[in-house]
Amino acid sequence: MLQGLRQYLPILDWGRSYSRNQLSNDLVAAVIVTIMLIPQSLAYALLAGLPAEAGIYASIVPILLYTVFGTSRSLAVGPVAVVSLLTAAAISDVAQQGTMGYAAAALTLAMLSGAMLTVMGLFRLGFLANFLSHPVIAGFITASGLLIAASQLRHVLGVEAGGGTLIELGETLLPQLSATNLVTLAIGLPAIGFLFWVRKGLKPMLRRAGLGPRLADVIAKAGPVAAVVVTTVLTWGLGLEERGVAIVGAVPQALPPFTLPDLSPALISQLFVPALLISIIGFVESISVAQTLAARKGQRINPDQELIGLGAANLGAAFTGGYPVTGGFARSVVNDDAGAETPAAGAFTALGLAFAAAFLTPLVYFLPKATLAATIIVAVLGLVDFSILRRTWAYSRGDFWAVAATIALTLGFGVETGVSAGVLISILLHLLKTSKPHVAEVGLVPDTHHFRNIDRHPVQSDPTLLSLRVDESLYFVNARFLEDCVMNRLAEGSPVENVVLMFSAVNAVDFSALESLEALDATLRRRGIKLHLSEVKGPVMDRLKGSHFIEHLSGEVFLSQYDAWCRLARQGQTPGPVKAAAE
């Protein structure tokens, strides 16, 4: 029973050996991440179209729940830019921003996402994230980063603009340029420049000044807080609100409230698909970060348990005034670099944010929205990576067009269209690549037992024996392709008497492929040619034995391709009896 509980409650595993040294390191990491998360949480809530406090609420209980159920020791869960943008895109279709219905829809979206992730984890469906290829994800995140940055320019300029695509943002923003609030611009532009400098130049400068690496890192991570403090004091002291500078305003001074999502069937049906997309994107982003950080320390991540951990975090957000969350790249890297050793660092971060929610929120009343916009712009531009286009063009034109299409569709038609297209493109790419598997004619490498492609290596071959290596699993998409490929190799008047299909790379044969193999065997039999198999893997052989295919096969099943060569090639040396066997 205890072992079963540890499977679903990883805290029982790492918690029983928790040490004082780990406590010290986790506390330091929590301080650094908390300082970073306060302005970031406020900013991402505004990006999602929600009140600023929703960002802090979404960073408290969800983190605590992930601490209990998650397996990553460095992942920092909370609001992230891409999921915030997806949330705004999904909810804006069903409710008007600033209304109670909008906030309730955000809770419903978090609940649906949490339920989906939890169910996927319980049924071990973590593999579904593989339907989004890495190039497509990179393209989507790059386009989303540009969209997010463009959407925040209105706050930096102090004008009204909106839209879910780059075209719509440009159409509403450009006519407003003449109405730019220069005071707001004077806050936003220096904030952006300062935050970019903090990211790249502050820590090296502090190190040159003689500060230790840990202290320099803490001060550098506090850079955004410095921008928040300075611009807030300036706005308050100079009365800039009266000169048109938009501010955050009153933020409730309280811990996360207990909230209930809207469970109306109509709303659930409208948000179901967006919630699924948010779940998949959030999980892919989170598991990618978690596995990367775990690999640094030789740790392991359980993808299915991660689904449960993220599901619990989102359910927690749904009932405590938040909105969908996932593991963030930037904060997780900061958490790891700051020395976090266990998920307890996240719990301490949640306590720090709870303290901020209970006691510090009045201090952000005069915080300019331009400063929060600057925080978002600097954060998301770090996600933009156009080098993926150059790298995929050099390596795979198919992947290049997939990335390019995802970027173009996201920028031109919005994030939901972009991510939906990304899923479809990833699946279509897989189907395209596997629909025409590589089939190589192989021959014997002299003085060895190895077989290689006759077009690439000097090998021995036999005109009466056609040996083909199939480099892909066989299923309904490519079943007929193999049949046509074999028949195309057998020209009229061909001296071939035996065909051997080398199955060393075949991991599965579905029913459609089985029927195709049976049809191929029948066609070859009518031409006086025998069909043989070699190097069939055990699980594949078990399936084939479960049918009548092996029983009625015109040829044999050989343990190795060399056995087939020795038995069937005219210049081969026949060894002892060869059994029909599987590797």
309 within 8 A of 63, measured Cβ to Cβ: no
Other Cβ atoms closer than 10 A to 405:
17
Rounded Cα–Cα distance for residues 526 and 532 (Å): 15
Please check whether residues 502 and 532 belong to one and the same domain.
yes
Q: What pLDDT band is residue 509 in, cutting at 50, 70 and 90?
A: very high
In this predicted model, what pLDDT tens digit does every residue of 441-480 receive, in sequence order? 999 999 999 999 999 999 999 999 999 999 999 999 998 9
Within-domain flag for 197? yes
Residue range(s) defining the domain that contains residue 475:
439-568
Within-domain flag for 579? no
What is the rounded average pLDDT of the residues 320-344?
86
90 within 8 A of 71, measured Cβ to Cβ: no
3-state SS of 372-433 is HHHHHHHHHHCCCCCHHHHHHHHHCHHHHHHHHHHHHHHHHHCHHHHHHHHHHHHHHHHHHH
What is the rounded average pLDDT of the residues 339-343?
86
What pLDDT shows up at residue 9?
A: 85
Please check whether residues 190 and 56 belong to one and the same domain.
yes
Q: Where are the alpha helices (DSSP H) in 436-529?
A: 479-489, 511-526
Please check whether residues 449 and 416 belong to one and the same domain.
no
In what side-by-side order are the strands of the sheet with 498-502? 451-453, 439-444, 465-470, 498-502, 530-534, 557-558
Please check whether residues 70 and 187 belong to one and the same domain.
yes
Residue type, 108: T
Within-domain flag for 185? yes
Rounded Cα–Cα distance for residues 128 and 101 (Å): 32
Rounded Cα–Cα distance for residues 71 and 300 (Å): 8
Structural domains counted in the chain: 2
Which residue, 405, 428, 451, sits at the end of a domain?
428
Which residue, 428, 457, 492, sits at the end of a domain?
428
Among candidate residues 561, 495, 563, 559, the one with its CA nearest the CA of residue 529: 495
Within-domain flag for 25? yes
Q: What is the DSSP letter of 244?
A: T
63 within 8 A of 322, measured Cβ to Cβ: no
Among candidate residues 328, 325, 274, the one with its CA nearest the CA of residue 141: 328
**Distance between alpha carbon 21 and the CA centroid of its chain, in Å?**
33
Please check whether residues 416 and 457 belong to one and the same domain.
no
Q: CATH no. for residue 446?
A: 3.30.750.24
**DSSP track, 273-313:** HHHHHHHHHHHHHHHHHHHHHHHHTT----HHHHHHHHHHH
What is the rounded average pLDDT of the residues 317-327?
96
- What the block records as the tokens of 69 is 């159920």
176 within 8 A of 161, measured Cβ to Cβ: yes
Please check whether residues 210 and 163 belong to one and the same domain.
yes
Which residue, 428, 450, 480, sits at the end of a domain?
428
For residue 319, CA distances in Å to 109, 251, 258, 346 come to 11, 19, 6, 19
What pLDDT shows up at residue 583?
A: 44
Q: What pLDDT band is residue 141 in, cutting at 50, 70 and 90?
A: confident
Please check whether residues 541 and 483 belong to one and the same domain.
yes
What is the rounded average pLDDT of the residues 496-503?
96
